[in-house]
Chain A
Amino acid sequence: MKKFPMMTMAGAALALLICAGTAAAGDLPVQAPRFWAPAGDLVGQEDHFAGTFLVLDDHGSTAKIAEDWQLIEQYAGEGLFRWSGKGLSGGDLVLRGYGTTRTGDFNGRFGASCSRPGRMVWNLDYRLFDNFYDTTSEMRTYAFSLGSEPPVLDPAPVLGWNRGRFGLRYHLADGFDARVGYVRMARDGDKSSLDRLHGSTVEYAQVPGRKILDLTSQEFTVGFSLARGNLDTDLELGYRGYDGTRTVDADRTVADDHKTTSARLDLAYDMGSSLRLLGGGSLAKVENDGSETRDGVGRPLTTETDLSAGRLGAIARLGDSAVLRLGAVVQARNTEGDVDAGTDEVLAVDRERKSTDLRARLTYTGISRTRLQGHVGYKTSDLDEVTTSGGLPGGLVEAAQIVAQEKTTFNAGFDASRRLSRKVSLRLDFGYSGTETDELTTNANGGTDLWYFAMGDRKQDRMDWRVALQLRPLTTLRLDVGHQTDERTFEREDEFSSKTEWKAQHGFAGLSWAAHERVTFTGNFTYGVEEFTLTGGPEPTAGLGPLRYDGTTLRFMPGACVRLSGKWSLEGYYEGVRYEDTGDEGVIDVLEADHDRTTIRSSYRLGEPLTVTATYRRYEFDENRWDDTITDLYALSLSGRF
């Protein structure tokens, strides 16, 4: 029933587009296939403005529509502008802004920048957005076979998010620059969350709840860069304060009060014209004096991490066709923390991590029409951790667990591109990463039972490769096709000897064809298969729930763009996504989900500076559960350049 109007409109649009190909030629440029773009924003790089009036007609789960598209208002306005001129100091000043009322409140961003090249530049950016959350977003994943719609939250959870950023860079003297920066970010509101309190019943996690956030962070930085002869240096000092609370289900609250201080020094030195040496060092301290409250009992806590890192690197040219890049990074990360609630349990941790990371990358262009690049890396890391429970501080240790871990990672890969002919280029990518972890966890008090969960030795492999062809059979035809594979395996090498595998195959093709000076066709097709399997150890009990899955995703997106005349253009796009999960057919029903999205947009140039644009969009989500939605969006825009 829902499919019919969509197909009818898509067919009508296609017929209109074909007919329009015979219309009179003009000089209005063909629009790029920016099918995601909001209405009326194709205003170019010059100073401009655009105003849009939106009408929403939605059916189905309004909470899901709000989450997917940040749309709740039936009528909304949007606008954007760019203006450039001279600032008070004579510098080039650019002001930009975008605002919308589609969420029922004012959302948008504002930016200003001013520069006098060679002297100074400053930038200001402020963003203010609301994010809505579907009541059942955690339950909409394909792991759930729930057949009935859960209750909704009213009002829909919404989290306000805003960020302001300012940066100033000033050229103080020849080769000497200074800069300051400030970033403030705040999140305030609530997100949907399953109510964990109901975990002991069959109604497991089916009741929606709220996670309430009130978080603010502010960061100040000051930096200096100095270039003298063959030496480049850069020093940055930073301070970040962060405080906030996170509350789940009204009885679990985590309060943070973070202070982070950091310093970083980068050096680069040129030894001749073919070798650049790089070095640097960094120190940081992260302190947190917060609390964690559960079931009405507050537990004040103190944690502190000291970070130090150093690096060396080099970029060297080997002859005319090869560049070698080498890098080495060492890090140390020491954490101490304790929780002292004056209650029955005191927790403390002393954790040390150290790592060394070596990397090399070689780029070679000595073969005609070919670029080759290979890289290898080797990383080792050690973890020594002691966690104690009870009796601290000042008392006896009642329980302590010690973790000693050694981890080594090797990675390698290459990518190659070759121009096979004037019309065909080939690209290959391959990457491999293997990690082996040796981990021994012991009870420090000599007991055999570990205090909490521990993992033993394990091995993890990741591999991905991609092959792609760029075909340009005609100057007006671009076709890109390719295939990509990702594989991950994880093996427990302890007494469980289990092995899990996750494999994803992804094929893609993209087409852009300027069939006529006034007609451009675009197409996009992707095909993806994901499998997750378990081997080793006994099979999970029947009815255990969807541990494994076998998902197939199909996405196709045809579109066309037509210049009907010198003033009138028309474009239409359809995007279909089909998803099916058959991995646990014996446990849950096959899950099917369809996304259908249609955009039809037409622009008419009223005069040299003004263009009016009308847009119709339909978003349709159809799943064999409860979240079906249809969203019709009508927009009328007026945009201009000045």
Chain B
Amino acid sequence: MLRLLLPASMVVALAFLLPGTAPAIAGTGYLDQFEIPADAAYAGAQSCLDCHDDVAASYAHSPHAVDLGLAVPGTGAASCEACHGPGSLHVAGDGEGFILGAEHLGGLDDDGLVLMCTQCHSGQGLVWGEGSHAGTGTTCASCHADQVHFAVQALPAADYRNPAEFCLQCHPDQVADFRMPFRHRVLEGQVSCADCHDPHAGFATGWNGLNETCLACHVEMSGPFVFEHEGVAGEDCTICHRPHGSLNDKLLVQDGNGLCLQCHFESGLTFGDTGHQGVLVNEARCYDCHGEVHGSHTSPTLGYN
């Protein structure tokens, strides 16, 4: 527990060192990032739609439009004004008064933009900050921009057969792996990126010790075994497997016995009391005999016999 208290105390200490004017990174402080006139008040979404009829036509079918009365928890900001701020001065000025438009939103950094969404979508905000997309120049709008004002779904980009294409727009380097002879069938639509990757989390996935990414489907590998392979229980699956695709059978990282001997190579290839020279001369592979490579209940050598 002391190991946990140390970083925690460091973080609390940081709180007292932070400049008070820094942009918000958390909580419902999205609007706190701006200097909003004191006399600005919420005018209601209908006031916006009365003039912005071009947006209204599409917004009426957007996921955000179902209930114009939905408000940011604990505030009076609802619908359009939840993101664009109180609009009374804008309405009174016939479009000239204060409103949070592109010039304001464009001045926010990634975390500030994410905060615009997480003030309502707090479930995503809970994990986003730790996620693999956080800190990479990616924001909610990178994937969900269309959903804010328009009727289309963020997913998929093309069709239902292959939702992975949405992710491949930014990760085209993964396509080559999915064209390997042995692969998870992502381009064929059997498996989706989201089956393994949570785009909002990533870093936090699996922290509870269940190794859920791979074992959620390959549950038979999860044990618990009486005899378990160190590589399975103490490490991660990617030491031996390339999950996207491989030239090698079973998505193995390396070919042949080199995979096993990378860790298990011993002089003379005598493991325990058993010499293996003669066996391997006949082009056998390690897991021809040690077939229960992930774990066994009865064989200490993870073998079939």
Q: Which of A229, A258, A455, A545 contacts B280 (CB 8 A)?
A: A545
Among A91, A174, A545, the most chain B Cβ lie within 10 Å of the Cβ of: A545
Q: Is B213's CB within 8 Å of the partner chain A?
A: no
Nearest CB on A from B134, distance (A): 8
Nearest CB on A from B29, distance (A): 4
Cα A202 to Cα B208 with chains together (Å): 47
Query: Do B130 and A141 have beta carbons less than 8 Å apart?
Result: no
Query: Do B207 and A545 have beta carbons less than 8 Å apart?
Result: no
User: From A252, which residue of chain B is reached at the shortest CB distance?
Assistant: B304
> When A and B form their complex, what is the total count of cross-chain residue pairs whose Cβ atoms lie within 8 Å?
421
Interface residues of B in 232-266 (CB under 8 A from A): 233-234, 247-250, 252, 254-258, 261-266
Query: Do A144 and B32 have beta carbons less than 8 Å apart?
Result: no
Nearest CB on B from A350, distance (A): 10
Query: Do A339 and B219 have beta carbons less than 8 Å apart?
Result: no
Q: Is B271's CB within 8 Å of the partner chain A?
A: yes
Q: Is B70's CB within 8 Å of the partner chain A?
A: yes
Nearest CB on A from B119, distance (A): 10
Q: Which of B7, B208, B254, B258 contacts A307 (CB 8 A)?
A: B208
Cα A619 to Cα B301 with chains together (Å): 41
Nearest CB on B from A316, distance (A): 5
Nearest CB on B from A95, distance (A): 10
Cα A288 to Cα B301 with chains together (Å): 21
Binds A, one of B39-47, B48-56, B90-98, B150-158: B150-158
Cα A422 to Cα B37 with chains together (Å): 37
User: From A338, which residue of chain B is reached at the shortest CB distance?
Assistant: B226
Q: Is A116's CB within 8 Å of the partner chain B?
A: yes
Q: Is B142's CB within 8 Å of the partner chain A?
A: no
Cα A371 to Cα B29 with chains together (Å): 25
Query: Do A309 and B63 have beta carbons less than 8 Å apart?
Result: no
Nearest CB on A from B282, distance (A): 5
Query: Do B262 and A532 have beta carbons less than 8 Å apart?
Result: yes
Nearest CB on B from A465, distance (A): 15
Cα A48 to Cα B159 with chains together (Å): 9
Nearest CB on B from A84, distance (A): 8
Interface residues of A in 185-208 (CB under 8 A from B): 185, 194, 196, 199, 202, 204-205
Residues of A within 8 A of B165 (CB): 34
Residues of A within 8 A of B122 (CB): 175, 225, 227, 232
Cα A427 to Cα B266 with chains together (Å): 40
Interface bits B1-33 vs A (CB < 8 Å: 1, else 0): 101101110111011011100111111010010
Number of B positions contacting A (CB below 8 A): 125
User: From B65, which residue of chain A is reached at the shortest CB distance?
Assistant: A117
Residues of B within 8 A of A118 (CB): 66-67, 70
Binds B, one of A20-28, A54-62, A269-277, A604-612: A269-277
Query: Do B233 and A353 have beta carbons less than 8 Å apart?
Result: yes
Residues of A within 8 A of B159 (CB): 41, 43, 48, 50, 80, 82, 98
Q: Which of A115, A138, A540 contacts B269 (CB 8 A)?
A: A540
Residues of B within 8 A of A117 (CB): 63-67, 70
Query: Do A196 and B172 have beta carbons less than 8 Å apart?
Result: no
Q: Is A88's CB within 8 Å of the partner chain B?
A: no
Residues of A within 8 A of B248 (CB): 141-142
Nearest CB on B from A228, distance (A): 8
Cα A554 to Cα B122 with chains together (Å): 47
Cα A543 to Cα B278 with chains together (Å): 10
User: From B304, which residue of chain A is reached at the shortest CB distance?
Assistant: A196
Query: Do A273 and B24 have beta carbons less than 8 Å apart?
Result: yes
Q: Which of B22, B208, B268 contacts A282 (CB 8 A)?
A: B208
Query: Do A337 and B224 have beta carbons less than 8 Å apart?
Result: yes
Q: Is A301's CB within 8 Å of the partner chain B?
A: yes
Cα A534 to Cα B1 with chains together (Å): 42
User: From A579, which residue of chain B is reached at the shortest CB distance?
Assistant: B247
Residues of B within 8 A of A131 (CB): 185
Query: Do B226 and A453 have beta carbons less than 8 Å apart?
Result: no
Q: Which of B175, B189, B289 contacts A199 (CB 8 A)?
A: B289
Query: Do B11 and A314 have beta carbons less than 8 Å apart?
Result: yes
Q: Which of B158, B209, B255 contacts A551 (CB 8 A)?
A: B255
User: From B264, which residue of chain A is reached at the shortest CB distance?
Assistant: A455
Query: Do A543 and B281 have beta carbons less than 8 Å apart?
Result: yes
Query: Do B262 and A335 have beta carbons less than 8 Å apart?
Result: no
Query: Do A452 and B300 have beta carbons less than 8 Å apart?
Result: yes
Q: Is A620's CB within 8 Å of the partner chain B?
A: no
Known: A70-B188, A273-B29, A365-B109. A143 touches B257 (CB 8 A): yes
Query: Do B207 and A273 have beta carbons less than 8 Å apart?
Result: no
Residues of A within 8 A of B219 (CB): 215, 217, 240, 242, 258
Interface bits A483-497 vs B (CB < 8 Å: 1, else 0): 000001010100010
Cα A363 to Cα B11 with chains together (Å): 16
Interface bits A52-87 vs B (CB < 8 Å: 1, else 0): 000000000000000010100000000010100000
Query: Do A534 and B261 have beta carbons less than 8 Å apart?
Result: yes
Query: Do A453 and B301 have beta carbons less than 8 Å apart?
Result: yes
Interface bits B99-113 vs A (CB < 8 Å: 1, else 0): 000000000010100
Nearest CB on B from A546, distance (A): 5
Query: Do B233 and A453 have beta carbons less than 8 Å apart?
Result: no
Q: Is B125's CB within 8 Å of the partner chain A?
A: yes
Query: Do A275 and B289 have beta carbons less than 8 Å apart?
Result: no
Q: List 15 A-B contacts (CB under 8 A).
A: A41-B158, A138-B250, A175-B122, A199-B288, A225-B122, A273-B25, A299-B298, A308-B209, A316-B25, A339-B298, A358-B7, A502-B254, A534-B261, A536-B267, A575-B179
Enumerate the 7 nearest inter-chain pairs by beta-carbon distance, A residue then B residue, closest first: A143-B256, A276-B26, A270-B27, A282-B208, A537-B267, A452-B300, A314-B11
List 13 additional contacts besides A117-B70, A316-B14, A373-B136; criterion CB under 8 Å: A34-B158, A94-B153, A202-B282, A264-B208, A288-B224, A317-B23, A349-B227, A363-B135, A365-B109, A407-B234, A450-B272, A500-B258, A548-B258
